């Protein structure tokens, strides 16, 4: 039996196909989110990669900000539950999840059965999110995928203290105009993201293992800054951008099992 999880966020669209609730057949991300060509493209690409069609799916479960705009989905669930499910499936020793997505940053505390004990998310503000990193990358004229490289070259991270993306942008511009090295500014940006994420994690209570997921987890500089800020080891999830879609595919499988039991 195949099930699909689709996670359409503000900045990217992700999909995972699962066989019998255990084996990942295919999983990929397209860097375009809800309201764009992203959802359509991710479905086309996953069909091409897996050789499977939507009609082969016993159940499709959608999550992310764009979850309600996907007519092919059988059910929608929140990304909090989906990330918890996906990360716990990969690593049952996880007790704290930090997820940094396009417009959300969240910390989720799990119990030893993978149940959600508590979660906190950012308020109505882009500070500490993937979008914040994108804005900074643009101002600094450094591609997002090269941010980590700069980060690890930094000897003296700059202070980026503003909690507002717009104010932080002007702070970065003024650091640039003062001649501060780009690697130090980038490290400062990463520490600023880390501070926001860690505040949420500390609120739910940091218990090991702590796993980082979401698109920003692909940036090793962010992971390094969070680890230092937390003062505890941090595990980066496998395919960190796909954990929400993976959780959705797992929950889709559980839906089918529940249906079969009640049939």
Partner 1 sequence: MSEKSVQEMTAKELLAYYQAKLDEEARQAKANGKLVCWSASVAPPEMCVAMDIAMVYPETHAAGIGARKGAMDMLEVADRMGYSVDCCSYGRVNMGYMELLKEEAMTGKTPEALANSPAARVPLPDLVITCNNICNTLLKWYENLAAELNIPCIVIDVPFNHTMPVSEHAKEYIADEFRNAISQLEVICGRPFDYEKFHQVRRQTQRSIEQWNRIASMSRYKPSPLNGFDLFNYMALVVCARSRDYAEITFRKFADELEEKYKKGESAFKGAEQNRIAWEGIAVWPYLGHTFKTLKNQGTIMTGSAYPNMWDLTYDAEDESLHSMAEAYTRTYINTCLDNKVAVLRRIMEEGQCDGVLYHLNRSCKLMSFLNVETAERIQEKNGLPYVSFDGDQTDPRNFAPAQYDTRVQALGEMMEQAADGGQA
Site residues (CB under 8 A) for partner 1?
65, 68, 76-81, 84-85, 88, 104, 110-111, 113-116, 118-119, 121, 123-124
Among candidates 57, 52, 53, 80, which has minimal Cα distance to 5? 57
Q: Measured from the CB of residue 186, what is the shortest distance to partner 1 in angstroms?
A: 28
Complex with partner 1: residue 79 or 183, whichever CB lies closer: 79
Q: Measured from the CB of residue 220, what is the shortest distance to partner 1 in angstroms?
A: 28
Complex with partner 1: residue 79 or 184, whichever CB lies closer: 79
Q: Measured from the CB of residue 41, what is the shortest distance to partner 1 in angstroms?
A: 22
Complex with partner 1: residue 19 or 75, whichever CB lies closer: 75
Complex with partner 1: residue 119 or 191, whichever CB lies closer: 119
Complex with partner 1: residue 152 or 167, whichever CB lies closer: 167
For the CA atoms of the chain, what is the radius of gyration? Answer: 19
With b for 16 or more beta-carbon neighbours within 10 A and e for fewer, the 27-48 pattern comes to bbbbebbbebebbebbbebbbe
Q: Measured from the CB of residue 183, what is the shortest distance to partner 1 in angstroms?
A: 34
Q: Measured from the CB of residue 210, what is the shortest distance to partner 1 in angstroms?
A: 18
């Amino acid at each position: 039996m195949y099930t699909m999880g689709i996670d359409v966020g503000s900045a990217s669209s992700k999909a995972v196909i699962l066989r019998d609730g255990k084996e990942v057949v295919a999983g990929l991300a397209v860097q375009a989110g809800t309201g764009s060509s992203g959802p359509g493209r991710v479905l086309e690409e996953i069909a091409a990669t897996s050789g499977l069609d939507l009609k082969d799916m016993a159940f499709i479960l959608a999550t992310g900000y764009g979850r309600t705009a996907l007519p092919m989905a059988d059910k929608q669930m929140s990304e909090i539950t989906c990330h918890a499910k996906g990360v716990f499936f990969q690593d049952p020793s996880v007790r704290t999840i930090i997820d940094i997505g396009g417009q959300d940053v969240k910390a989720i505390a799990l119990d030893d059965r993978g149940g959600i004990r508590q979660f906190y998310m950012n308020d109505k503000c882009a500070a500490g999110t993937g979008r914040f990193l994108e804005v900074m990358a643009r101002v600094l004229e450094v591609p997002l995928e090269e941010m980590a490289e700069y980060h690890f070259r930094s000897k003296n991270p700059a202070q980026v203290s503003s909690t507002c993306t717009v104010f932080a942008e002007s702070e970065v511009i003024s650091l640039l105009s003062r001649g501060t090295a780009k690697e130090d500014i980038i490290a400062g940006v990463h520490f600023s993201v880390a501070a926001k994420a860690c505040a949420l994690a500390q609120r739910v209570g940091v218990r090991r293992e702590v796993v980082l997921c979401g698109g920003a987890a692909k940036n090793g500089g962010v992971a390094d800054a969070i680890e230092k800020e937390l003062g505890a080891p941090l595990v980066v999830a496998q395919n960190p951008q796909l954990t929400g879609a993976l959780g959705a595919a797992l929950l889709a499988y559980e839906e089918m099992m529940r249906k079969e039991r009640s049939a």
